[in-house]
Amino acid sequence: MKFFLLWAAVHVSQYVLFLYFLAINSVYTALILLALRDIVRHAYLTTSRVSRRQLASEFYFKPVSVIVPAHNEAAVITQSVQALLNLHYPEFEVIVVNDGSTDDTLERLRLDFSLLPCAKPVRLQVPHEAIRGVYRSSVYRHLIVVDKFNGGKADAINAGINVSAYPIFCSIDADSLLEPDALLKSSKLFLEDDELIATGGIIRILNGCMVRDGAVTEIGLPRGFLEAMQVLEYTRAFLSGRTGWNALKSLLIISGAFGVFRKDMVVAVNGYRKTVGEDMDLVMRLHRHCRDRAIPYKILFVPDPVCWTQAPYSLRMLLKQRNRWHRGMIDALLTNREMILNRKYGATSLIGISYFVFVEFLGPLIELFGYLSIPVLYYFGLLSTKFLVMLVLLAVFWGISINIGAVFLDIYNFRRYNRTSDILRLCVLSAAEFFGYRQIMLLERLKATLTFRKKDWGTQDRRVFEKKGTAV
Amino acid sequence: MLEILTQSPHFYDYVTAAVLLLGVFNVAEVLFLLWNKARVERSELKRQDLKRLASTALITATDPAELLPKPADEEDFAAYSEAIASVLDSFEGEIAVKAVGLISDLGIDEHYRRLARHRVWYKRGNAIDILSSFRLKANKEFFLAVFRSETSLDVRYRIIYGLSLLTREHSDIRALARMLSGLPYLTAKYTEDIFYNIITALKAAGNEAEFGIFMREIMHDGAVLNLVKRDCITACYAASCEKGRGLLMEYYAAFPEEPEILMAAVKALARIGDFSVMPAAIRHPDWRVRLAALKYAHLCCMDMIPEIRALLRDPNYHVRLNAALALAKSGEKGRAALREEAAGADAFAASTAAYALGQEAA
């Protein structure tokens, strides 16, 4: 009886693994195909003359509050704020929220932007830690700095929302740089579609690029393997992943590094929740809020507004970041578990959330089971050499196709990486990912699954953006 | 192991074929990327050259078509159309006439008219956009014909946009309004754009009064959405429609329960320097109307300080804050009122007053 059960378990697990492998790769392939259709169409229409003229027109716009949460960002804050003040936009304010920094972030801001105390009454619409003071720059009238007790990124953005004056807000990380027209391109969508409640642009890796006066002047693939590998991952995640989810109306993440939201909707869901995955959590709650109340809404990803961000350059920092992302995702799924496989939430639940549960959350467990069981099965003669070789080849070649597909979407449509050597390196990295990198990330995600209740963010080391024309 | 699959006679053949296919596909993709990179770089250079050549020929030559090579592919057409549209935007008179002549001499209009009937909707949309940018009167009939047969809403909206640039007389506005009301309301920006284009085109043709007649016609027309009426008013605001003063007042009086229309009317009137509705607007029950009025209250020459001061106790935060800011901008009398309020017992009024005074001092 025991032998029979073991035999049955082995056979069932083989089928599960094989079907899972087929399903997951088919999903990625389908996403790439959907993204290709969407991106080509988008590129075609946004490059038309009329669209460009409309973008340049200053008659119609909605003023935007740009909120920058900053905790111990003294190394980059001045350049980052300078870049934001140079955005091409008719009416906006920049609100930097100093979230109880222990370094001299506030002092830097005070000196570099001539801050003066300001008695701005703050409307308490969403909860956050107490504000110590509000300052306004005497040089740049649209720069406000909020100094508050430490409460985390979500808490800092909530404080920014309360201080903000405009109906749309854009949250951006302090270590990121927005392209000058990024705000125009993303907020324009709010004018074109009354149902739009949130949108996000693409996040690209700043490492390897040249930065001058707070703007990216030359784009290049970073030299380091880890950093270059992240370029590939971001390209895949944004261009094939999010664009594909867009097409399926199931977008669940708008990156915390660059997202634009309708303030009334975010206030309606009580703002950001204190968690390590506050970006995904917010988007899920927005979906829930609108579906529960039958409010027509849209949450969209757009591939052309670009935000450049610094990627971790050491393995230790990278693992820490991935661990945090995975914990954030699990927390968001658990908090919004009512949405899992619930027909009331339509495609968002049945497609988007199911993907996160079965692929992103369970995926690492199933993949690990595969890595462990295949050698055992092979050792006991339950797996033929021919089958094993063919399976590995199929998995690797299919994976490479998905990666190169994402590179193709980027290079063909947006042509950011123009050097032949960069294109070839991205293609080589598409294959290299399967030999070590993927497995290390898998282990970290498993670690995060086991410790998902931890709430700490950890610290990230920053590099100064610009050193007179040198690459970051 | 997976016997059902592996024992099938062709299982390994299929898997091998899939692996080979994926391998070939990957290599082909990489090669295509490299080839495409070289192609795009070449065509970009060619496109820039053509644009420069076309612009120079239009400005300097008597018959530019003789100097310019016939467009051979899509890139050439795009380069020529961009150059011509830029010239049409910047020049009038002889150069503009030559540019219009070049459109037909090089077969550009024919090319995009063909594309406007392409089976892929976004290619049709792009062709309509390009034809619109030429603002050719001759395209009006074509646009109307395409509109009748067009199935995609996106393209239909673009056709209406193109037609709005060609408005000359009253019948054109009526036709456009009918076409617009036949489609679902898109967005405020789109409708405003359409009416803005109409007003600008009418102004250029010296027929601005036609728009006033049109607005009076639709004022009590139940078939026209109030949102569309509001967008007409905001278009007047954007296009500085000075002749519409009386009409805007009529709209303000006719829609006392429609805050969207009232806000638009208050803004449009303020833009042309008419503040007669201000006293009523800052007492309106809807906070959005009060707020819209407060934004311009400091420009009004009537003494409205007592009314604005009362709004420092408004239940709405935005109204309180803007009342304080309006007082701060209303000269010494306004600032004196703010100072009194800042020292007063009402905490809400005191904090907003202190903020506005601080702003003013900074």
Judge whether A335 is closer than 8 Å to chain B, CB to CB.
Answer: no
d(Cα B34, Cα B39) in Å, to the nearest integer? Answer: 9
pLDDT tens-digit map of B177-213: 888 888 888 878 788 889 988 988 888 888 888 888 8
Distances, alpha carbon B184 to alpha carbons A50, A188, B179, in Å: 21, 20, 10
pLDDT tens-digit map of B209-253: 888 888 888 888 888 888 888 888 988 888 877 777 888 899 999
Identify the pLDDT of residue A373. 86
Please indicate whether, in this complex, the C-beta atoms of A44 and B123 are within 8 angstroms of each other: yes
pLDDT tens-digit map of B135-155: 898 999 999 999 999 999 989
Mean pLDDT on B79-104: 89
pLDDT tens-digit map of A67-104: 999 999 998 899 889 889 988 888 899 999 999 999 99
Q: Which of residues 37-96 of A touch B (CB under 8 A)?
A: 41, 44-45, 48-51, 53-54, 59-60
Confidence of residue A379 (pLDDT cuts 50, 70, 90): confident
Mean pLDDT on A48-65: 62
Contact, B309 vs B341, CB < 8 A? yes
Residue B7 has pLDDT above 80, yes or no: no
Looking at the structure of chain B, the number of domains it has is: 1
Contact, A54 vs B194, CB < 8 A? no
pLDDT tens-digit map of B319-360: 998 899 999 988 888 899 999 988 888 887 888 888 888 776
Residue A407 in any domain: the answer is no
Looking only at the bridges linking them, the beta strands covering A298-309 and A176-178 are antiparallel
Looking at the structure of chain A, the number of domains it has is: 1
d(Cα A470, Cα A464) in Å, to the nearest integer? Answer: 11
d(Cα B328, Cα B356) in Å, to the nearest integer? Answer: 6
ipTM of the assembly?
0.81
Question: Whole domain around residue B192: which residue ranges?
Answer: 167-274
Identify the pLDDT of residue B362. 58
Please indicate whether, in this complex, the C-beta atoms of B187 and A194 are within 8 angstroms of each other: yes
Judge whether A136 is closer than 8 Å to chain B, CB to CB.
Answer: yes
Q: Which residues pair with A94 in a beta bridge?
A: A66, A143
Residue B128 has pLDDT above 90, yes or no: yes
Residue A413 in any domain: the answer is no
Residue A297 in any domain: the answer is yes
Residue B239 in any domain: the answer is yes
Residue B159 in any domain: the answer is no
pTM: 0.79
Looking only at the bridges linking them, the beta strands covering A196-205 and A298-309 are parallel
Question: Whole domain around residue A152: which residue ranges?
Answer: 59-232+253-314
Contact, B262 vs B293, CB < 8 A? no
Work out the percent of chain A whose per-residue pLDDT is above 70.
92
Which CATH number covers residue A74?
Answer: 3.90.550.10
Confidence of residue A469 (pLDDT cuts 50, 70, 90): very low
Show the beta-strand stretches assigned E in chain B: none
User: Of the candidates B127, B84, B89, which has an alpha carbon nearest to the alpha carbon of residue B104?
Assistant: B84
Mean pLDDT on A238-258: 89
* DSSP-derived secondary structure letter, A468: S
Mean pLDDT on B98-107: 92
- Using a CB-CB cut-off of 8 Å, the residues of chain A touching B84 are none
Identify the pLDDT of residue A468. 43
Confidence of residue A432 (pLDDT cuts 50, 70, 90): very high
What SS3 class is residue B344?
coil
Please indicate whether, in this complex, the C-beta atoms of A412 and B33 are within 8 angstroms of each other: yes
Please give the residue that has the higher pLDDT: either B281 or B349.
B281
Q: Which of residues 392-451 of A touch B (CB under 8 A)?
A: 393-394, 397-398, 400-401, 404-405, 407-408, 411-412, 415, 418, 420, 423-424, 427
Extract the tokens encoding A174: 């302090």
Residue A201 has pLDDT above 50, yes or no: yes
pLDDT tens-digit map of B301-317: 777 889 999 999 898 88
Identify the pLDDT of residue B224. 84
